Amino acid sequence: MTKSVLLIATACTLFIAASCNSKKEKKEEHTKFLITSPIKKDTSITKDYVCNINSFKHIELRALEKGYLKEIHVDEGQLVKKGQKMFNIMPNIYEADLQKAKAEAKVAEIELQNTQLLTDGNVVSKNELAMAKANFDKANAEVSLAQTHLGFTNIRAPFDGIMDHLHAREGSLLDEGELLTTLSDNSKMWVYFNVPEAEYLDYIISTDKDTKKEVQLLMANNKPFNQKGIVETIEGEFNNETGNIAFRATFQNPDQILRHGETGSVLMTIPFKDALIIPQKATFEILDKRFVFVLDQDNVVHQTEVTVAAELPHLFVIGKGLKLSDKILVDGIRMVKNNEKIETKFAEPNEVISKLAVYAE
């Protein structure tokens, strides 16, 4: 008797459980999935590119003559003015060469004068006078050359700038061409950044390509530089290894904050007119391709490939694959299968976007 009661109780329990599962499955079958449409509006994105910061002018100062470094008139990191004396190489030999050249020029001048008198008296021919004149000109050229070499022993700043590290000390024996220091004009800076080929093409065929593009500079401390820059030039060739091409932006540097060799990031704002925008969560990836579920008029979902033109916080700008009139699945994309018919509830795109806590201009 006890076994019969137990069997009946077990059967009732199984029946109740089966009934509950049946109701649950029936309930799940009637789940309404949230759908919406793409929205079209003007927006923009800010892209950042790693950059190298260079001085407008950056040169090496080298010894033009061989000799001992006699005097250093400047210090590392010092701001120097154009024409200011910076280095002096021991000039003794070059001073002696100049005196010798001047003496030889004087002798040539006297010989020319004597030959002129003899020519006037028809004692010597005009050819000898021409020879004396040539010797005189040669001697004067030697004087100019000696003066030039002597001038090379005094090295002056070719422009206003900041001096870098000293590579030689007083008393050092210098060879011709030996590096002394570098000099940087930081009044304005050239900032180079690499742009991928696809973005370069978008930039170069845009309607405002002839307008000077403004960019911002994010310094290494994650703070924005206080001046806007202008994209002034694009290099002539792509890097075959990276597929990038270098852009150059010019930044004024009145407070001398930026120095040659710094790094940072260039921030470029890229506008999108009449962009087609959808929530990121409405998409999914398969083998590096991105898809959405698009509903037809019978509420059947179809897996549709899309291309993403740009990415915003929680949003995608769609390049290809969707129309403004399409209805796309927003929630539950993991719960449906391709070509499956579902029940839906529609929400306006602005309502969906507002719940993402995103501002899209």
Tens of pLDDT, residue by residue over 219-245, are 999 999 999 999 999 998 998 888 899
What is the CATH number for 79? 1.10.287.470
Tens of pLDDT, residue by residue over 44-60, are 888 899 999 999 999 99
Expressed as residue numbers, the domain containing 105 is 65-176
Helix (H) or strand (E) holding 117: helix 92-120
Is the distance from CB of 39 to CB of 318 less than 8 angstroms? no
Domain stop point among 176, 206, 231? 176
Q: What residue ranges in the chain does DSSP mark as E strands?
A: 32-36, 39-62, 67-72, 79-80, 85-89, 154-156, 161-163, 173-174, 179-196, 213-219, 229-234, 244-252, 263-279, 283-286, 289-295, 301-312, 315-320, 327-329, 343-346
205, 250: one domain: yes
What's the pLDDT score for residue 238?
93
**pLDDT at residue 3 greater than cutoff 60:** no
Residue 249 counted as domain residue = yes
Tens of pLDDT, residue by residue over 248-291, are 999 999 999 999 999 999 999 888 888 899 999 999 999 889 99
| Cα–Cα dist 46/36, whole Å | 27
Mean pLDDT of the chain: 85
168, 232: one domain: no
107, 164: one domain: yes
Tens of pLDDT, residue by residue over 286-324, are 988 999 999 999 999 999 999 998 888 889 999 899 999
What is the CATH number for 213? 2.40.30.170
300, 348: one domain: yes
Domain stop point among 245, 273, 301? 273
Domain stop point among 233, 256, 273? 273
Tens of pLDDT, residue by residue over 81-123, are 999 999 988 876 777 777 888 888 888 888 888 888 887 777 7
Structural domains in the chain (count): 3
| Cα–Cα dist 338/291, whole Å | 11
Residue 131 counted as domain residue = yes
Question: Strand, helix or coil at 248?
Answer: strand
**pTM score > 0.75 for this model?**
no
Residue 130 makes CB contacts below 8 A (sequence gap 6+) with: none
pLDDT band at 7 (very low <50, low <70, confident <90, very high): very low
Residue 18 counted as domain residue = no
Residue 3 counted as domain residue = no
Q: Tell me the average pLDDT across 136-165.
A: 86
Q: How far is CA 329 from CA 108, 259, 261, 334, in A?
A: 100, 52, 50, 11
220, 267: one domain: yes
Q: With the CA atoms of 249, 250, 253 and 257 taken in that order, what torsion angle do they form, in degrees rounded to the nearest 10?
A: 20
